[in-house]
Chains A and B, each alone.
Chain A
Amino acid sequence: MTNQKWIAYALEKGFEAFEIYQILEKNKSVQWFAGEVDSFVTSRVLGTSLRGIYNGKMANFSVEDPSDSNMEMVISNMITQANAITSDEEVVIREPEDTVPVKSKRVWVRPSNEQIRDVMKTLEEKCYQYDPRIVQVSSVQWEEVKNVRKIENSKGMQIEDEITVQALIAGVAASENGQVKTGFKVEMVEDLSQFDQDEFVEKLCSDAVKQLGATSLPSGEYPVILERSAMTNLFAAFTGMFSGDLISKGISPLKDKLGQSVFSDKITVIDDPRFADAINVVSYDDEGCPTRTKKLVEDGVFTTILHDSKSAKKMGTESTGNGFRPAYTSPVNVVPRNCYIVPGDKDLDGLCESMGEGLVITSMMGLHAGIDFVTTNFSLQCAGYWVKDGKRDHSVTLITMAANFLDLMKNVEEVGNDIKWSYGDIACPSVRFTSCAISGE
């Protein structure tokens, strides 16, 4: 595809502004099972997404065959689209802007296939040696993704950057007395030769083994700690509440709440696409708007609404640089990037100690189905462990935790310090809550 040719042609056909967004994704995935490489996947995919303003309306088109022979068909289709849109929202294609470039701290060293195989083989062996109750290493997988992003538009914008991620993923099953429990771990690995295999195996296997003998709990209200990954998953399911798009449509539970106390005063939330500890660090959003650091919630008070250009126009303000495409085929939307709850002082053991007796939830399942975003009511399958005298006692499974998220976030006792950035764009430390409804036996 000749980008400038497409842009010129679109303008000639009457588009007021036109933009080409491209992602070239290269991926390698190696999976190990039962002593050999089980599957090897390699790919190269160029995704092209076009958008343009015609008679004041935005048309969107994604195409995987951006050869010039498709140009007339695509542009004419986009004109038809624009003519059919009846919404009168103001739309924007941005002017280029300078910004201070940022980069993730991570330095990715690409391993050889032999190195990957050796590590996977050793990891599998180490898992089996860890404990006789580890009955299966369900999979060990190496993933490498490199995304090169390009944004080019009729106003002179030219942006190109890239993001790399390398990860090791493994799952094990432990079994005792007919009960099976699984452990699963994803670890970002910058340099495989420096990777601490023993620590990885310890965490992965102990997670599965410790769950053996887990039982349910009698239904009731209990003091609860959401361990960081459970907290991250739950928080991520509700971060849409900060979206200017959903607020302006009156669908967000935080509509009309700007400036009000919405969470406990122990909670501060930051959204920072420039945060160098995170993986997906970017200087510009997917519309070419410079990114910046925002406090969304400060000491419990809702202080900033996230915007892309369109939602900002609608609410009479400026974009916060949060116009992202969840996939290259998706239109630009308001999306948080490197959004986190600011950590407190204590580690998880410290939180357990101050709780004394109660429940630690380590995993939550069914988040795509078990939450009602509008009311923030949720009911989710959970697992974790019981804490007695401030220490881990027995494992707990097949329970649900149900609450109203906004109410829950007002009942925070303490925020932990154990935040960890992984592949996601949201991160939370462990958080201790006064109590929550648990359903079990």
Chain B
Amino acid sequence: MLDKKQLERYLSFCMNSEADFAEIYEELENSETITALNGKMENVNNILTKGIGVRLYKGLQSVYAYSNETEEEAVMPLLEELVDSFGKCDKGVSIRLEEVLYENRHPVKIDFEQVALEEKNELLKRANDAAFGTDERIVKVQAGLLNVKQKVQIANSNGRLIGDTRVRTRLTVEAFSQEGDNFQSGSDRPGAGKGLEFYEEMTPEEIGREAARVALVNLQAKDCPSGKMPVVIDKAFGGVIFHEACGHALEATSVSKNRSVFTGKLGQQIASTCVSAVDDGTIPNAWGSQNIDDEGNFQKRRVLIENGILKSYMIDTLNGRRMGMESTSSSRRQSYQYEPTSRMSNTFILPGDSEFEELFEGIEKGLYAKKMGGGSVNPQTGEFNFAVLEGYMIENGKVTYPVKGAALIGNGKDILWNIDKVGKDLARGQGMCGSLSGSIPTDVGQPAIRVTSITVGGTAHD
């Protein structure tokens, strides 16, 4: 990492220009991916990333340069290019940095860098064997282990110098089931902002069995119904509905430029009163947590919606300027190759007061969406989709038979009004969220909820 004196020189150089703010982000990342097929380790891929990203603001304008050549002779031409684009002027500015120290909220117990590959392979093997052991119709198992350690250092012209080390791990199992010509798959992919101690609480066996369970259910799945109907969306990754239908449209990236259906709606009711939601980047060792955001501000818990009323957006500094609002410490990026912007962290609907069974009451014909995949949204129109990976028919208040996966679609500004019951059992699920500043780990979450009407994209028509 660059030392304090060097950073001070660079920042001073940048600020002797028309720029009114300068920031240097530096990153070192070690990532390791291990993949196995049917219990045999196939591939190991190590990636050592090292780079620097420099950003200057002038009012609402930003210029950004990045490189992985961090020696002075490579960095200076980049800085000169940035300074030139705003215009040089000798203001006699000299930046002094003050390092900010703090207590790490996300300590790691078993550092993956200190563990032999054989032991990691053993985790994959345990998941593999558990999946195969579930049922003889499981014919193939792919497993993958991802470990990442990202060290960042952020220095800016306000004199702030701060660092963070983010560690995360994820075990992915995809099980394949077969019965005659019927070939199906199922997967599970939990993760956390932890070291390998994660697999003591979430065992590889559980992950393998869960993937196998879904693959086996899919062997029995019939055609999914189509059209508008009530849907019960289960806890944990079910929260992808909020992430897509509402979360992205509450990011300042969309809001500040009037590209969101929720622009100008602060203080207004945008959801039914049973909906309260937060974005909380402080949860210890959660998948989407950090100590600081990628502009060096301490992560926060943000109440987005309280009893249906819009309370806060997720804001980064630059978009905050456009909006005349403070940053909510929501600035994130995949790596130094991206300019940071407002993003989600761990975003979820808070528990309500309905029992799980109540959610099904009175539904004549509907869908129980037990396991979800990803989705996407156009924040400007509000139109979103997300995928159901494991679903069941609800007939006369009872869950009857499994149906094939289907998309659920709607408009974010309507759908939150259609949530009429929220369960008590909050859980979170892990995902990778892609947007302007790259692909970042985020948690989605919710208790089981009921949506009174949403379009289900199946193939069976009445």
Q: Do A and B bind each other?
A: yes
A42 touching B78 in the complex, CB below 8 Å, given contacts A61-B46, A369-B374, A372-B405: yes
The B54-106 residues at the A interface (CB cut-off 8 A) are 60-69, 74, 78, 81-82, 85
Residues of A within 8 A of B82 (CB): 42
Which of A39, A41, A366 is within 8 Å of B385, CB to CB?
Answer: A366
Q: Are A381 and B457 in contact (CB under 8 A)?
A: yes
Q: Are A400 and B63 in contact (CB under 8 A)?
A: no
Q: Report the separation of the CA atoms of residues A216 and B161 in the bound assembly, to the nearest whole angstrom.
A: 53
Q: Mark B372-393, 1 if CB is under 8 A from A, else 0.
A: 0111101011111111000000
Q: Report the separation of the CA atoms of residues A377 and B62 in the bound assembly, to the nearest whole angstrom.
A: 44
Does A59 belong to the interface (CB within 8 Å)? yes
Q: Report the separation of the CA atoms of residues A132 and B388 in the bound assembly, to the nearest whole angstrom.
A: 40
The B247-274 residues at the A interface (CB cut-off 8 A) are 257-259, 261
Min CB distance B182 to A, Å, is 9
Residues of A within 8 A of B44 (CB): 59-60, 81, 84-85
Q: Are B121 and A86 in contact (CB under 8 A)?
A: yes
Residues of A within 8 A of B40 (CB): 86-88
Give the number of residue pairs across the A-B interface with Cβ within 8 Å.
233
Residues of A within 8 A of B67 (CB): 43-45
Q: Report the separation of the CA atoms of residues A216 and B383 in the bound assembly, to the nearest whole angstrom.
A: 12
A84 touching B461 in the complex, CB below 8 Å, given contacts A37-B61, A372-B185, A381-B409: no
Q: Report the separation of the CA atoms of residues A173 and B257 in the bound assembly, to the nearest whole angstrom.
A: 12
Q: Are B140 and A251 in contact (CB under 8 A)?
A: yes
Does A434 belong to the interface (CB within 8 Å)? no
Residue of A nearest to B432 (CB): A368
Q: Which stretch (B18-26, B223-231, B298-306, B443-451) binds chain A?
A: B223-231
Does B45 belong to the interface (CB within 8 Å)? yes
Does B282 belong to the interface (CB within 8 Å)? no
The A267-308 residues at the B interface (CB cut-off 8 A) are none
Residues of B within 8 A of A420 (CB): none
Does A411 belong to the interface (CB within 8 Å)? no
Does A12 belong to the interface (CB within 8 Å)? no
Residues of A within 8 A of B46 (CB): 60-62, 77, 81
Min CB distance A277 to B, Å, is 29
Q: Are B65 and A138 in contact (CB under 8 A)?
A: no
Q: Are A45 and B51 in contact (CB under 8 A)?
A: yes
Residue of A nearest to B183 (CB): A374
Which of B118, B259, B339 is within 8 Å of A39, CB to CB?
Answer: B339
Q: Report the separation of the CA atoms of residues A419 and B380 in the bound assembly, to the nearest whole angstrom.
A: 29
Q: Report the separation of the CA atoms of residues A440 and B228 in the bound assembly, to the nearest whole angstrom.
A: 7
Residues of B within 8 A of A399 (CB): 409, 455, 457
The B178-226 residues at the A interface (CB cut-off 8 A) are 183-185, 224, 226
A366 touching B404 in the complex, CB below 8 Å, given contacts A42-B81, A400-B409: no
A379 touching B458 in the complex, CB below 8 Å, given contacts A42-B81, A77-B46, A402-B224: yes
A84 touching B117 in the complex, CB below 8 Å, given contacts A40-B64, A42-B65, A44-B67: yes
Which of A44, A372, A379 is within 8 Å of B457, CB to CB?
Answer: A379
A41 touching B64 in the complex, CB below 8 Å, given contacts A180-B261, A369-B386: yes
Q: Mark A41-68, 1 if CB is under 8 A from B, else 0.
A: 1111111000000000011111111000
Residues of A within 8 A of B118 (CB): 84
Residue of A nearest to B64 (CB): A41
Q: Report the separation of the CA atoms of residues A43 and B259 in the bound assembly, to the nearest whole angstrom.
A: 27
Q: Are A38 and B60 in contact (CB under 8 A)?
A: yes
Q: Mark B399-419, 1 if CB is under 8 A from A, else 0.
A: 000001111011100000000
Does A221 belong to the interface (CB within 8 Å)? yes
Which of B36, B41, B140, B380 is within 8 Å of A138, CB to CB?
Answer: B380
Q: Are B45 and A62 in contact (CB under 8 A)?
A: yes
Band of interface residues on A: 35 or more
Q: Are A402 and B459 in contact (CB under 8 A)?
A: yes
Min CB distance A407 to B, Å, is 10
Q: Are B385 and A365 in contact (CB under 8 A)?
A: yes
Does B176 belong to the interface (CB within 8 Å)? yes
Query: From DSSP, what is the main secondary structure of chain B's interface residues?
Result: strand
Does B396 belong to the interface (CB within 8 Å)? no
Q: Are A81 and B117 in contact (CB under 8 A)?
A: yes
Q: Report the separation of the CA atoms of residues A366 and B48 in the bound assembly, to the nearest whole angstrom.
A: 31
Residues of A within 8 A of B257 (CB): 33-34, 136, 138
Does B42 belong to the interface (CB within 8 Å)? yes
A398 touching B409 in the complex, CB below 8 Å, given contacts A87-B40, A370-B385, A439-B457: yes
Residues of B within 8 A of A220 (CB): 461
Min CB distance A178 to B, Å, is 10
Does B49 belong to the interface (CB within 8 Å)? yes
Q: Are A330 and B383 in contact (CB under 8 A)?
A: no
Residues of B within 8 A of A440 (CB): 227, 455
Does A437 belong to the interface (CB within 8 Å)? yes
A87 touching B48 in the complex, CB below 8 Å, given contacts A173-B380, A370-B387: no
Residues of B within 8 A of A46 (CB): 68-69
Does B37 belong to the interface (CB within 8 Å)? yes
Residue of A43, A329, A379, A400 ringed by the most chain B CB atoms within 10 A: A379
Q: Are A400 and B183 in contact (CB under 8 A)?
A: no
The B312-343 residues at the A interface (CB cut-off 8 A) are 337, 339
Does B158 belong to the interface (CB within 8 Å)? no
Residues of A within 8 A of B185 (CB): 372, 374-375
Q: Report the separation of the CA atoms of residues A181 and B385 in the bound assembly, to the nearest whole angstrom.
A: 16
Residue of A nearest to B373 (CB): A369
Q: Are B459 and A84 in contact (CB under 8 A)?
A: no
Does B1 belong to the interface (CB within 8 Å)? no
Residues of A within 8 A of B49 (CB): 64, 329
Does A36 belong to the interface (CB within 8 Å)? yes
Residues of B within 8 A of A36 (CB): 61
Q: Are B45 and A329 in contact (CB under 8 A)?
A: yes
Min CB distance A214 to B, Å, is 10
Q: Are B461 and A379 in contact (CB under 8 A)?
A: no
The A327-383 residues at the B interface (CB cut-off 8 A) are 329-331, 365-366, 368-370, 372, 374-375, 377, 379-381, 383
A39 touching B258 in the complex, CB below 8 Å, given contacts A61-B46, A65-B50, A380-B407: no
Min CB distance A395 to B, Å, is 12
Min CB distance B438 to A, Å, is 12
Residue of B61, B66, B410, B459 ringed by the most chain A CB atoms within 10 A: B459
7 pairs, CB–CB < 8 Å, chain A vs chain B: A38-B62, A61-B45, A173-B380, A216-B455, A369-B374, A370-B373, A402-B457
What are the nearest 10 A-B pairs in CB distance?
A400-B457, A439-B226, A381-B385, A369-B374, A84-B117, A437-B459, A369-B387, A366-B385, A219-B227, A379-B457
Residues of chain B whose beta carbon lies under 8 Å from any beta carbon of chain A: 36-37, 40-51, 60-69, 74, 78, 81-82, 85, 116-118, 121, 139-140, 142, 176, 183-185, 224, 226-228, 257-259, 261, 337, 339, 373-376, 378, 380-387, 404-407, 409-411, 434, 455-459, 461
Residues of chain A whose beta carbon lies under 8 Å from any beta carbon of chain B: 33-34, 36-47, 58-65, 70, 74, 77, 80-81, 84-89, 136, 138, 173, 180-182, 216, 219-221, 249-251, 329-331, 365-366, 368-370, 372, 374-375, 377, 379-381, 383, 397-403, 437-441
Given A42-B81, A374-B176, A402-B458, 20 other A-B residues pairs in contact with their CB atoms under 8 A: A37-B61, A44-B67, A45-B67, A45-B68, A62-B48, A84-B41, A88-B40, A138-B257, A173-B380, A251-B176, A330-B45, A365-B383, A365-B385, A368-B376, A369-B374, A374-B184, A379-B407, A379-B458, A402-B457, A441-B227
